[in-house]
């Protein structure tokens, strides 16, 4: 949508809201629809080609308004998560469908999704152990529980361990910064020998530092065999899996119990919108389900409806699936794929520029939109370069450590980024590097 259409549509939306409020007394207090009304009104998959804004707004009046905030908010979310799951070619088991055991939910952030998965896994293993040994206290069990993630996993994984009150151990990643099956197996065997109880593994697809990928095809079978919950955190990289050429990065998802990525990161959906799927929703729901009278409703036990409050930490919810519905329809799957591909191509363009300059080295494989690089030389030199880059305030880079190396990260992430911006950034970085190296020599 270009600027002039945005202006026109934004103003129409303003009138839409004002008209709604002006006429609110004429509207029904409570919707007439029956549970499950919405699924039959929308297609079962996202459109390949863009829909018009007109069509979407007409559908708001036709499909959403009769279902008001409830149940439309819940039902659109379930269907949108199915749409998105199908775009990623997630195994059928993760979809809600009309009678599935899995399904998706929108969380606020990947941190919350990881925490929810860890808590569900903790409840599940605790119940299993207490069923076998009724005398075991929860504390005694928690002292023995151990979770694993790669040493490259996001800090929120470690934090989930702290919040959940369980040990979280970092598995040393390999030369490509990936967690491998052998390293996980080794740590697990050692812990089991010491009497600990491995119960939860977070595999990262697209780490924050360098966008590396844990080996799902190795880690997954170990988790299944050892009855450990496998959660996949693909916060950033997940969006790319809608492109057939990147879908192989998700191979092994069939071994997982839960999977999460953030459409708010790289799929043009505004913050916040973190998409999480589980294979068995009873595992998630069972962890903390409480039903006081003031939250009861007549469809409670019918199995017809989804109570998302049991799927998440907060009780209240926003209507975030509307954002997904609008974005998926306005871009179409093809438009979203083109957006991802453009970013990846721009990252490779930057990678290519770096390759031609022998002063620099590339520090990790460029798979998606992130390029990790540095000047050949000391960490101090690179810290000085970063200081110059960020100090001039024309572009902004966020660094990381890869093993003992201080590394600069060039991330393609703006909606409007073009090849010209990448070249400009490169010239800028290159010039500042020359200045720095010149000053070093003096």
Contact set for a copy of itself, span 80-119 (CB under 8 A):
108-112, 115, 119
Cβ proximity to a copy of itself, 4 vs 40, nearer residue: 4
* Residue 300: CB minimum distance to a copy of itself, A: 14
Query: Could you tell me the two tokens for 391?
Result: 């100090």
In whole angstroms, give the CA distance from residue 43 to residue 220.
Answer: 33
Contacts with a copy of itself by CB under 8 A: the residue count is: 71
* Residue 245: CB minimum distance to a copy of itself, A: 27
Cβ proximity to a copy of itself, 156 vs 321, nearer residue: 156
In whole angstroms, give the CA distance from residue 419 to residue 426.
Answer: 11
In whole angstroms, give the CA distance from residue 188 to residue 171.
Answer: 10
- For the sheet with 274-278, list strands across it: 103-107, 274-278, 258-261, 229-233, 197-204, 145-150, 167-171
Among residues 304, 398, 413, 439, the one that binds a copy of itself under rule CB under 8 A: 398
On whether the CB atoms of residues 395 and 410 are closer than 8 A, the answer is no
Considering only residues 119 to 158 of the shown chain, the ones binding a copy of itself according to CB under 8 A are: 119, 122, 137-144, 154-156, 158
The answer to whether 24 contacts a copy of itself (rule: CB under 8 A) is yes
Q: What DSSP string describes 159-221?
A: HHHHHHTSEEEEEPP-TTS---HHHHHHHHHHHHHTT-EEEEEEEEBS-TTT--B--HHHHHH
Among residues 131, 132, 193, 290, the one that binds a copy of itself under rule CB under 8 A: 290
List phi, psi (to 5°) of 402. -115, 110
Cβ proximity to a copy of itself, 50 vs 108, nearer residue: 108
Among residues 39, 86, 247, 318, the one that binds a copy of itself under rule CB under 8 A: 318
Considering only residues 225 to 264 of the shown chain, the ones binding a copy of itself according to CB under 8 A are: 264
* Residue 139: CB minimum distance to a copy of itself, A: 3
* Residue 55: CB minimum distance to a copy of itself, A: 21
Of 193-201, 220-228, 344-352, 399-407, the window that binds a copy of itself (rule: CB under 8 A) is 399-407
Cβ proximity to a copy of itself, 6 vs 352, nearer residue: 6
Residue 210's closest CA among 348, 365, 341?
A: 365
* Residue 270: CB minimum distance to a copy of itself, A: 9
Among residues 26, 28, 43, 134, the one that binds a copy of itself under rule CB under 8 A: 28
In whole angstroms, give the CA distance from residue 411 to residue 396.
Answer: 9
In whole angstroms, give the CA distance from residue 340 to residue 26.
Answer: 45
* Residue 109: CB minimum distance to a copy of itself, A: 4
Considering only residues 401 to 420 of the shown chain, the ones binding a copy of itself according to CB under 8 A are: 401, 409, 416
Considering only residues 200 to 229 of the shown chain, the ones binding a copy of itself according to CB under 8 A are: 208-209
Residue 63's closest CA among 85, 38, 45?
A: 38
* Residue 416: CB minimum distance to a copy of itself, A: 7
The answer to whether 172 contacts a copy of itself (rule: CB under 8 A) is no
In this structure, the number of other CB atoms found within 10 A of the CB of residue 398 comes to: 12
For helices 155-164 and 110-132, the axis angle rounded to 10 degrees is: 40
Q: What DSSP string describes 2-43?
A: -HHHHHHHHHHHHHHHHHHHHTGGGS-SS--PPTTTTGGGS-
The answer to whether 27 contacts a copy of itself (rule: CB under 8 A) is no
* Residue 135: CB minimum distance to a copy of itself, A: 12
Cβ proximity to a copy of itself, 78 vs 209, nearer residue: 209
The answer to whether 338 contacts a copy of itself (rule: CB under 8 A) is no
Owner of token pair 């509307």: 322
Cβ proximity to a copy of itself, 166 vs 250, nearer residue: 166
* Residue 136: CB minimum distance to a copy of itself, A: 10
Query: Could you tell me the two tokens for 277?
Result: 């799927």
Query: Could you tell me the two tokens for 209?
Result: 């530092």
* Residue 225: CB minimum distance to a copy of itself, A: 26
The answer to whether 168 contacts a copy of itself (rule: CB under 8 A) is no
Cβ proximity to a copy of itself, 322 vs 437, nearer residue: 322
Those residues whose C-beta lies under 8 Å from the C-beta of residue 115, and which sit 6 or more positions away, are: 156, 159, 160, 163, 164, 313
Query: Could you tell me the two tokens for 13?
Result: 């939306």
In whole angstroms, give the CA distance from residue 224 to residue 9.
Answer: 50
């Amino acid at each position: 949508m270009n600027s002039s259409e945005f202006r026109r549509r934004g103003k129409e939306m303003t009138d839409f809201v004002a008209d709604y409020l002006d006429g609110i007394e004429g509207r029904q207090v409570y919707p007439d629809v029956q549970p499950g009304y919405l699924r039959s009104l929308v297609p079962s998959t996202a459109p390949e080609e863009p829909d018009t804004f007109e069509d979407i707004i007409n559908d708001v009046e036709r499909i959403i308004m009769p279902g008001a905030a409830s149940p439309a908010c819940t039902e659109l979310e379930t269907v949108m998560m199915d749409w998105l799951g199908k775009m990623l070619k997630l195994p059928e088991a993760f979809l809600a469908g009309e009678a599935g055991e899995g399904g998706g939910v929108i969380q606020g952030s990947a941190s919350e999704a990881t925490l929810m998965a860890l808590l569900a896994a903790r409840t599940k293993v605790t119940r299993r152990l207490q069923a076998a040994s009724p005398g075991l206290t929860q504390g005694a069990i928690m002292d023995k529980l151990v979770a694993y993630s790669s040493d490259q996993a996001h800090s929120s994984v470690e934090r989930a361990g702290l919040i959940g009150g369980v040990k979280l151990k970092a598995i040393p990643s390999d030369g490509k910064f990936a967690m491998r099956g052998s390293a996980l197996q080794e740590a697990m065997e050692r812990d089991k020998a010491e009497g600990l109880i491995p119960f939860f593994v977070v595999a990262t697809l697209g780490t924050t530092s360098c966008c590396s990928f844990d080996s799902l095809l190795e880690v997954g079978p170990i988790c299944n065999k050892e009855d450990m919950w496998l959660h996949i955190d693909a916060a950033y990289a997940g969006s790319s899996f809608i492109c057939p050429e990147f879908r192989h990065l998700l191979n092994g998802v069939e071994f997982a119990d839960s999977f999460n990525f953030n459409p708010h990161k790289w799929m043009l959906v505004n913050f916040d919108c973190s998409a999480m799927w589980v294979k068995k929703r009873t595992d998630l729901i069972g962890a903390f389900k409480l039903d006081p009278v003031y939250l009861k409703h007549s469809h409670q036990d019918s199995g017809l409806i989804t109570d998302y409050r049991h799927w998440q930490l907060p009780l209240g919810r926003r209507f975030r699936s509307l954002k997904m519905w609008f974005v998926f329809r306005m871009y179409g799957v093809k438009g979203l794929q083109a957006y991802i591909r453009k970013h990846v191509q721009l990252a490779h363009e930057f990678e290519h520029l770096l390759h031609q300059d022998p002063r620099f080295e590339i520090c990790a494989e460029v798979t998606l939109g992130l390029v990790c690089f540095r000047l050949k030389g000391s960490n101090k030199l690179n810290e000085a370069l970063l200081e110059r880059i960020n100090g001039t305030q024309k572009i902004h880079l966020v660094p990381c450590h890869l093993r003992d190396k201080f590394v600069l990260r060039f991330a393609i992430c703006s909606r409007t980024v073009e090849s010209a911006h990448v070249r400009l950034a490169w010239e800028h970085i290159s010039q500042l590097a020359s200045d720095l190296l010149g000053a070093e020599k003096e």
